[in-house]
């Protein structure tokens, strides 16, 4: 193999951005088909949406800490003549929209949309996505969704209030709740647009990863981030059509009276009885057939990113690369046959409950393997305790809690008790916030230099991390206890049940912590936006990392690589004996055959 | 600084563990009427659920401690590694992978299979058995209809059995379900409008009421007292208003109560005019 | 090999700006959120706002003085409301700041610092300073007073903690009832507008399901029952577990709101024919029309006063009225309400059948059926031939009460202007309660505020009402029609209905 060894010196003639004219502002920043710009658009949009979703969550927490008292801002504005005391349907709207915004406009798009877009071509050595226009469209389809979700707040009756799961008949019959009027239709349409956006992304990611890898980038030389994005894309491609179909069926039920999900003879609010012929359980099956895999869509990319960051920050190879890949594949595969565990108590066939329980419990296995491998990666490393590493460690340690609490609810008999209590709320916040979002915070800090050519501030980053981490644990850990104490979810006022009265002080503590955590996010925003302009400039590879993206300029120009990259080995050769004076070995660095034995050449 | 961060995560794990450990004594545990410290379930199946819960809690606690000890140690080592020391250059270990695949899978399979019985007893008729192994007799006491936002309950008249359609002599109550203590009773759960869920925390009983379905739910009560009964599935703005009570009383009291309600319900309001 | 921590230097500028930004954001949010918030307030009727400004001001200030605001309730003692507090009388003096008392209520509950209201004696009246409880010994009945200048005499009566029940009632109401029934009890809370039927507007002083005779108010027991058991088939849920005291005080609060509302309604009705913007505009329009008519006929006519002048005249007339007649009008309205609500609690007002329920036999039901179909009752015109609530009257356009103008929708309406369906009697769902006596009372006194008429005493004798009750109560179980109460198509009809 007499390949050239591309180094910076050869870069002179290979300036890829050889376009005759500079694109206009509009085509650079707004209607860009450049995957990096789209990734940044996704990232900034989702960061702003995160603040919206967080604000809604603080409304929920306020009501739980001070039920039926004045709620500042929201209550003052909307319920002035009631003295700022919100109405119960406003509470249901708050938690419904909190979940909707956080899941569909923050977590899913920030992982697949922002990081997927930005990283996939850079990490596999491609100059852009396979379908750049489709890619741009996938971002722009977010906006109708945001518009529909936003508009739903202003519908007569307030925003949708049937929970993010939108179970019929509450969500389906117009008369069932104030929020189930036009707001729910808006919500369903918004959901459809999010779905279409994700679908376009997922098709693109799969094609790009399969077809556009750089020479030498075999499947098992791909960074785990790419593997996770690949698996996520497959999950989305198979699961999403089901949700889209279900959404359309629901819209048809609402607007055309098709009754897919409506049994006969139901009277709500003295409206005429329903014609019927349908089954409400059908929605639950269809919804969870997507939304359970969606849980992994919300987790797998973060797992991949954290694996990459951990290896880099511990300056040693990832522990058990192939088991990591296989366990992600196993999670994805098993993820398709566990949706029924959301429905143990829905009155479906009990035998089905048993099957779903076994598959659900077994899905803990690949998660456990991954956790052990992360600890193996940290073990014996030279840990760089910077913001990236702290967030990644938080990811691992929070994922341990979130994963272990999942075992309780996977066990059906125990789930009988904790189903729809705060235990569930604790569990999924530990997974989605504790794991994914900390992974995302780490990822932002880690790849920010590649995105903008500047570093983010370390001090602010650490303060943000500490506040968020403490606020997060103080908010969500007590929820396990609330759940065990039997406090149901989605109660505007749990305290008029005598057995829950004593939990008020605990909820007030949690609310204080939640506000701390909420305000800490301004630090992230401040750090992010100020660093774009004021951060210290950095070189190509500030972290001394191995991935292909670090061989491109920071920020990479149009077409990404000034030297077409060629890959010689996997991305995790940190601290390798063959790398000489430095402790990293970039994927583009050629290692003579004799020395290559020391590397695990995937 | 590295040591500080390692300690930071170790301390977090320790606090987490300690908080969990002291929760029962702080009253942040299973609901109780103030007698039991740990708030034991008040039904036979509930006790089994509790046993399972504590079994899983033990397994999970051990795993939690082991994982965090490993993580904490790794972090501490990573923080204190000397500049001249080399990192542990390893791509993984096949035997380790095999061990930590097989051991958890055995434990997980055990958890999964161990509890099938309880689930079957809870949901499949004939799997709930007496001490002598015969299927237990289930007594249908009432039809519980959830609606926005209350529970409407229909009992058969004294000496009659519950019929699927209302009878002229049925007894009706609202937000108050009476059952005889000790008997394995079943209710027929249905809903008038949207989905609800029948939840009695102290009995560890929960079941969704699904539109268009009649779902039997069975349970027994070990103690004669009032239990809280509530809705556990979002059913609209008044979800939290569905506050009801389940009254377990001796069979004699239960029958006497039925007589009393029946008499009130068929009251014709006639009072002897005062002289 | 030397390795440095990969922790690039950062400019202090970003740090400083970030922290400053967070402080500014946090401060801005805090100052927005923690400022003085809005206060809950009683809404006034549209008719009140329609009064000319002097009259409007006068009515509103009267209401405010007599009833207060949701946060500062005023107890108008003349109304038959249990405002709460422990009544007692002084038995003897015991030291210079303590008295031995006799109490009417539970004596353990007196808390320190509770204000004491003197009803009689030299210490009574507005001039004496606020006296509060400084201590109470439940065994010796010794009440130590604080802020007292002269000791009351033996026999002086007092109330400790006057108004506590009303305040607790307000608290319970704002937590459990306000979202639908509204702060002022107008049935227009934030959730109320989405409900069918609409939540009750108390401000007419009228409740549908009462045990009292036609034209009478509701009793405390009636409201208590409704709060406890709810109204099946509506969004009024059962508050069975609210607690006995909470239920009691919330009923008092609702009665108080009803009185407040009706007081406003009647007072404004008194004024609005002369002193409302609408009536003035009407009279101006009429005068102008008459003038135009006369002009057209070339008759001699005086040019009518301009709207401005009429308004001025009305204002000066009102100034006179408010001095001379308004106090009397207020007094009269208050008396009327006091009498009506006091009368509701008297035993004679409650409907008690003169005979036991007629035995529920086939013959009785048949007699009931014939009555149902007869022209004497005309039940079928609304409730329909089969009792499904689909009688011919539901297809007609009906005039608005007191006017000739018709409602926009077909079908019956209640006095609150809401469209109303006659009850489907085959459902076995009875909003006012399912006891025979409940049905008896519905037929005897009608359903107040609705087209359901009163048959009792005049049109039907008690035994006839019982026949009708027997017939109606058999409808859900009649073998002639399948019962939707069985859950429509859900239940397997493997059992033959009992009758």
DSSP state of B143: E
Q: What is the pLDDT of residue B127?
A: 86
Number of other residues whose CB lies within 10 A of the CB of residue B134:
9
Residue C350: partners with Cβ closer than 8 Å, 6 or more residues away: C211, C212, C213, C219
Contact B190 C490 (CB under 8 A): yes
- Nearest neighbour of B150 by CB, restricted to C191, C238, C485: C238
Are residues C477 and B166, on separate chains, in Cβ contact within 8 Å? yes
Which pLDDT score, from 0 to 100, does residue B36 have? Answer: 46
> What is the value of ipTM here, to two decimals?
0.95
Residues of chain A with pLDDT under 50: 1-20, 601-602
Backbone region of residue C482 per phi and psi (left: phi > 0; alpha: psi in -120 to 50; beta: other values): beta
In chain B, which among 212-231 make CB contacts under 8 A with chain C?
A: 212-214
Predicted confidence (pLDDT) per residue in A517-564, tens digit: 999 999 999 999 999 999 999 889 999 999 999 999 989 988 899 889
Least confident window among B271-275, C212-216, C255-259: B271-275
Residue with the bigger pLDDT between B18 and C158: it is: B18
pLDDT band at B40 (very low <50, low <70, confident <90, very high): confident
Across chain C, mean pLDDT equals: 85
- Is residue B210 a part of any domain in this protein? yes
pLDDT class of C111 with cuts at 50, 70, 90: confident
Domain co-membership, B99 together with B20 = yes
Whether B68 and B152 map to the same domain: the answer is no
Mean pLDDT of B9-19: 95
Q: How confident is the model at residue A7, as a pLDDT?
A: 38
Instruction: Tell me whether residue B151 is in a domain.
Output: yes
Instruction: For residue B224, tell me if it sits in a domain.
Output: yes
pLDDT band at C486 (very low <50, low <70, confident <90, very high): very low
Say how many domains are in chain B: 2
Q: What angle do CA C483, C489, C490 make, to 5 degrees?
A: 105
The confidence score (pLDDT) of residue A463 equals 95
pLDDT of residue A466: 97
Cα→Cα distances C230→B236, B244, B269, Å: 18, 13, 20
Residue of C1, C9, C15, C18 best to disrupt the A interface, most CBs of A under 10 A:
C18
Give me the pLDDT at residue C128, please.
Answer: 63
**Residue C68, strand partner residues:** C73
Same domain, B204 and B173: yes
Q: Contact A289/A339 with Cβ under 8 angstroms?
A: yes
| In chain C, residues 427-446 whose CB comes closer than 8 Å to chain B | 428, 434-437, 440-441
> What is the C-alpha to C-alpha distance for residues C74 and C64, in angstroms, rounded to an integer?
8
pLDDT of residue C12: 65
Architecture of domain C86-162: Beta Barrel (2.40)
A379 touches chain B (CB under 8 A): yes
Domain identity same for B185 and B215: yes
pLDDT on residue A122: 95
| Residue C487 pLDDT > 60 | no
- pLDDT band at residue B217, thresholds of 50, 70 and 90? very high
Do B261 and B227 share a structural domain?
A: yes
Instruction: Tell me whether B95 touches chain A (CB under 8 Å).
Output: no
**Nearest by Cα to A419 from A513, A343, A361, A352:** A343
DSSP code, position B115? T
Chain C residues touching B264 at Cβ < 8 A: 435
pLDDT band at B275 (very low <50, low <70, confident <90, very high): low
Q: Which of C5, C228, C240, C247 to probe by mutation at the B interface, max B CB count within 10 Å? A: C240
B158-203 pLDDT, tens digit per residue, is 889 999 889 989 999 999 999 999 999 999 999 999 999 999 999 9
User: How far, in whole angstroms, is CA B208 from its chain's centroid?
Assistant: 12
| pLDDT confidence of residue A253 | 94
Domains of chain A: 36-284 (1.20.210.10), 299-536 (1.20.210.10), 551-602 (no CATH)
> d(Cα A192, Cα A234) in Å, to the nearest integer?
19
Does B175 reside within a domain?
yes
B115 & B20 share domain: yes
- Report pLDDT for C306: 82
The reply to whether B174 touches chain A by the CB within 8 Å rule is no
pLDDT value for C2: 40
Q: What is the DSSP letter of A412?
A: H
Taking 50 as the threshold, does the pLDDT of residue B67 lie above it?
yes
Q: What is the pLDDT of residues A97-152, one digit of tens each?
A: 999 999 999 999 999 999 999 999 999 999 999 999 999 999 999 999 999 999 99
Set of chain A residues whose Cβ sits within 8 Å of the Cβ of B53: 408, 414, 417
Domain ranges of chain C: 45-71+171-350, 86-162, 362-486
Can you give the residue range of the structural domain that contains B185? 139-265
Give me the mean pLDDT over the C451-461 stretch. Answer: 89
Kindly tell me if the per-residue pLDDT of B97 is higher than 70. yes
Instruction: Summarize the confidence of residues C317-339 as an average pLDDT.
Output: 92
Q: Quick one: pLDDT band at residue B77, thresholds 50, 70, 90?
A: very high
Cβ pairs A/C, distance under 8 A: 151
Percent of chain C's residues with pLDDT above 70: 91
Give the containing element (helix H, strand E) for B146. strand B139-147
Can you give the pLDDT at residue A17?
Answer: 43
Pick the CATH number of C362-486 from 1.10.760.10, 2.130.10.10, 1.10.357.10, 1.10.3470.10: 1.10.760.10
Q: Is A350 within 8 Å of B123 (Cβ atoms)?
A: yes
Beta strands B176-180 and B185-191: pairing type? unpaired
User: Are B110 and B172 in a shared domain?
Assistant: no
The pLDDT confidence band at residue C465, using thresholds 50, 70 and 90, is very high
C-alpha closest to that of C487 among B147, A146, A290: B147
Instruction: Judge whether B89 lies within some domain.
Output: no
DSSP secondary structure of C297-333: TT---PPPPPHHHHHHHHHHHHHHHHHHTHHHHHHHH
**Chain B residue with the nearest C-alpha to that of C2:** B83
Question: Nearest CA to CA, how far is B171 from chain C (Å)?
Answer: 10
**Which residues does B14 contact at the CB level (< 8 Å), separation at least 6?**
none
* Residues of chain A found within 8 Å of residue C8, distances taken between Cβ atoms: 455, 458, 536, 538, 542
* Domain co-membership, B143 together with B72: no
Indicate whether B130 belongs to any domain: no
């Amino acid at each position: 193999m007499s390949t050239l060894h591309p180094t910076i010196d050869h870069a002179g003639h290979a300036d890829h951005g050889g376009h005759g004219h500079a694109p206009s502002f509009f085509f650079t920043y707004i209607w860009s088909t450049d995957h990096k710009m789209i990734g940044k658009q996704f990232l900034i949009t989702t960061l702003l949406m995160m603040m919206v979703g967080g604000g809604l969550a603080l409304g929920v927490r306020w009501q739980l800490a001070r039920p039926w008292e004045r709620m500042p801002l929201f209550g003052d504005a909307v319920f002035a003549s009631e003295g700022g005391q919100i109405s119960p349907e406003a509470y249901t709207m708050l938690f419904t929209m909190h979940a909707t915004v956080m899941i569909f406009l923050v977590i899913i798009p920030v992982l697949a949309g922002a990081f997927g877009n930005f990283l996939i071509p850079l990490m596999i050595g491609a100059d852009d996505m396979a379908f750049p226009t489709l890619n741009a469209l996938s971002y722009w389809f977010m906006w109708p969704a945001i518009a529909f979700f936003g508009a739903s707040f202003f519908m007569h009756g307030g925003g949708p209030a049937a929970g993010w799961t939108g179970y019929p008949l509450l969500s389906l019959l117009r008369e069932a709740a104030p929020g189930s009027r036009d707001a729910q239709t808006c919500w369903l349409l918004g959901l459809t647009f999010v779905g279409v956006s994700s679908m376009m992304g997922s098709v693109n990611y799969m094609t790009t990863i399969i077809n556009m890898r750089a020479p030498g980038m075999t499947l098992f030389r791909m960074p785990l981030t790419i593997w996770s994005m690949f698996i996520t894309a497959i999950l989305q491609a198979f699961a999403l059509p089901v949700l889209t179909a279900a959404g359309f069926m629901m819209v048809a039920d609402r607007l055309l009276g098709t009754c897919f999900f409506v049994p006969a003879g139901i009277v709500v609010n003295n409206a005429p009885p329903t014609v019927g012929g349908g089954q409400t359980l059908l929605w639950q099956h269809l919804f969870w057939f997507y939304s359970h895999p969606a849980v992994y869509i919300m987790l797998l990319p973060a797992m991949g990113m954290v694996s990459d960051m951990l290896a880099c920050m511990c300056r040693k190879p990832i522990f058990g690369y192939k088991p990591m890949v296989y366990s992600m594949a196993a999670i994805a595969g098993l993820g398709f046959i566990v949706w029924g565990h959301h429905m143990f108590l829905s009155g479906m066939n009990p035998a089905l409950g048993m099957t779903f329980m076994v598959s659900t419990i077994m899905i803990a296995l690949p998660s456990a393997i991954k956790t052990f491998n992360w600890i193996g990666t940290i073990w014996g490393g030279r840990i760089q305790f910077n913001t990236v590493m702290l967030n990644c460690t938080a990811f691992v340690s929070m994922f341990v809690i979130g994963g272990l609490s999942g075992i309780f609810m996977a066990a059906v008999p125990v789930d009988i008790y904790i189903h729809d209590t705060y235990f569930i709320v604790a569990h999924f916040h530990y997974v989605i916030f504790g794991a994914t979002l900390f992974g995302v915070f780490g990822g932002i800090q880690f790849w920010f230099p590649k995105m903008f050519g500047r570093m983010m501030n370390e001090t602010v980053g650490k303060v943000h991390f500490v506040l968020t981490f403490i606020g997060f644990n103080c908010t969500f850990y007590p929820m396990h206890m609330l759940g065990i104490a039997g406090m149901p979810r989605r109660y505007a006022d749990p305290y008029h049940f005598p057995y829950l009265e004593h939990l008020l002080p605990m909820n007030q503590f949690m609310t204080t912590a939640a506000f701390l955590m909420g305000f800490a996010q301004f630090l992230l925003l401040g750090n992010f936006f100020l660093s774009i302009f004021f951060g210290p400039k950095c070189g190509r590879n500030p972290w001394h990392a191995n991935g292909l993206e670090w061989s491109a300029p920071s920020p990479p120009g149009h077409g990404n690589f000034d030297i077409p990259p060629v890959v010689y080995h996997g991305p995790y050769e940190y601290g390798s004996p063959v790398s000489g004076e430095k402790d990293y070995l970039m994927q583009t660095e050629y290692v003579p055959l004799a020395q290559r034995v020391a590397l695990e050449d995937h | 600084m590295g040591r500080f961060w390692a300690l930071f995560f170790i301390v977090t794990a320790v606090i987490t563990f300690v908080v969990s450990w002291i929760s029962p004594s702080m009253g942040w545990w299973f609901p109780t009427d103030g007698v039991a410290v740990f708030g034991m379930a008040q039904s036979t199946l509930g006790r089994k659920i509790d046993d399972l819960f504590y079994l899983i809690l033990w397994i999970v606690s051990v795993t939690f401690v082991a994982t965090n000890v490993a993580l904490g140690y790794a972090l501490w080592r990573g923080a204190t590694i000397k500049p001249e020391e080399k990192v542990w250059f390893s791509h993984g270990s096949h035997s380790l992978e095999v061990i930590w695949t097989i051991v958890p899978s055995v434990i997980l399979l055990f958890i999964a299979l161990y509890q099938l019985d309880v689930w079957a007893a809870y949901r499949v008729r004939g799997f709930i058995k007496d001490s002598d192994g015969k299927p237990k007799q289930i007594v249908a006491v009432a039809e519980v209809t959830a609606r926005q936002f209350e529970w409407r309950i229909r009992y058969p008249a004294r000496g009659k059995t519950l019929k699927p359609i209302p009878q002229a002599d049925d007894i009706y109550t609202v937000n108050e379900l009476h059952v005889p203590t000790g008997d394995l009773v079943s209710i027929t759960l249905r809903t008038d409008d949207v989905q609800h869920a029948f939840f009695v925390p102290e009995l560890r009983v929960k079941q969704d009421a699904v539109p268009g379905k009649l779902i039997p739910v069975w349970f027994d009560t070990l103690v004669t007292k009032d239990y809280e009964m509530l809705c556990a599935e979002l059913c609209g703005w008044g979800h939290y208003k569905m506050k009801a009570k389940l009254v377990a009383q001796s069979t004699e009291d239960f029958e006497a109560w039925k007589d009393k309600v029946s008499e009130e319900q068929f009251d014709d309001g006639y009072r002897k005019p005062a002289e | 090999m030397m390795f440095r921590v990969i922790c690039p230097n950062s400019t202090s500028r970003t740090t400083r700006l970030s922290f400053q930004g967070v402080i500014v954001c946090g401060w801005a949010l805090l100052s927005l959120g923690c400022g003085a918030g809005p206060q809950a307030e009683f809404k006034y009727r549209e008719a009140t706002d329609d009064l000319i400004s002097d009259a409007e001001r006068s009515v509103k200030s009267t209401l405010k003085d007599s009833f207060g605001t949701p946060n500062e309730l005023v107890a108008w003692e003349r109304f038959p409301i249990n405002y709460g507090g422990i009544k007692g009388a002084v038995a003897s003096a015991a030291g210079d700041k303590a008295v031995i008392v006799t109490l009417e209520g539970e004596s353990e509950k007196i808390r320190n610092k509770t204000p004491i209201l003197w009803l009689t004696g030299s210490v009574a009246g507005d001039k004496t300073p606020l006296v509060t409880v400084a201590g109470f010994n439940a065994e010796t009945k010794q009440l130590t007073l604080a802020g007292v200048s002269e000791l009351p005499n033996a026999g002086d009566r007092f109330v400790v903690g006057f108004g506590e029940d009303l305040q607790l009632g307000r608290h319970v109401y704002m937590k459990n009832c306000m979202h639908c029934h509204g702060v002022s009890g107008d049935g227009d809370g934030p959730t109320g507008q989405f409900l069918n039927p609409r939540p009750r507007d108390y401000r007419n002083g009228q409740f549908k399901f009462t045990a009292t005779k036609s034209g009478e108010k509701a009793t405390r027991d009636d409201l208590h029952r409704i709060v406890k058991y709810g109204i099946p088939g509506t969004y009024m849920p059962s508050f069975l577990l609210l607690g006995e005291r909470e239920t009691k005080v919330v009923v008092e609060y609702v009665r108080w709101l009803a009185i407040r509302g009706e007081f406003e309604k009647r007072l404004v009705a008194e004024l609005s024919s002369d002193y409302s913007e609408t009536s003035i505009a009407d009279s101006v329009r009429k005068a102008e029309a008459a003038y135009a008519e006369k002009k057209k006929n070339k008759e001699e006519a005086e040019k009518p006063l301009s709207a401005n002048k009429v308004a001025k005249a009305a204002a000066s007339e009102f100034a006179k009225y408010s001095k001379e007649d308004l106090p009397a009008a207020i007094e009269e309205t208050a008396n009327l309400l006091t009498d009506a609500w006091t009368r509701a609690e008297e035993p004679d007002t409650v409907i008690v059948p003169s005979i036991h329920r007629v035995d529920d036999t086939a013959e009785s039901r048949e007699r009931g059926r014939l009555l149902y179909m007869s022209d004497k009752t005309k039940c079928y015109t609304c409730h329909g031939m089969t009792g499904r609530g689909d009688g011919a009257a539901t297809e007609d356009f009906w005039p608005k009460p007191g006017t000739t103008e018709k409602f926009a929708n077909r079908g019956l309406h209640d006095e609150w202007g809401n469209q109303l369906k006659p009850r489907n009697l085959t459902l076995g769902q009875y909003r006012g309660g399912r006891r025979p006596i409940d049905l008896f009372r519905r037929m005897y006194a009608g359903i107040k505020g609705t087209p359901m008429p009163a048959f009792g005493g005049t049109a039907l004798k008690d035994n006839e009402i019982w026949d009708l009750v027997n017939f109606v109560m058999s409808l859900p179980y009649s073998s002639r029609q399948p019962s939707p109460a069985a859950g429509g198509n859900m239940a397997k009809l493997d059992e033959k209905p009992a009758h």
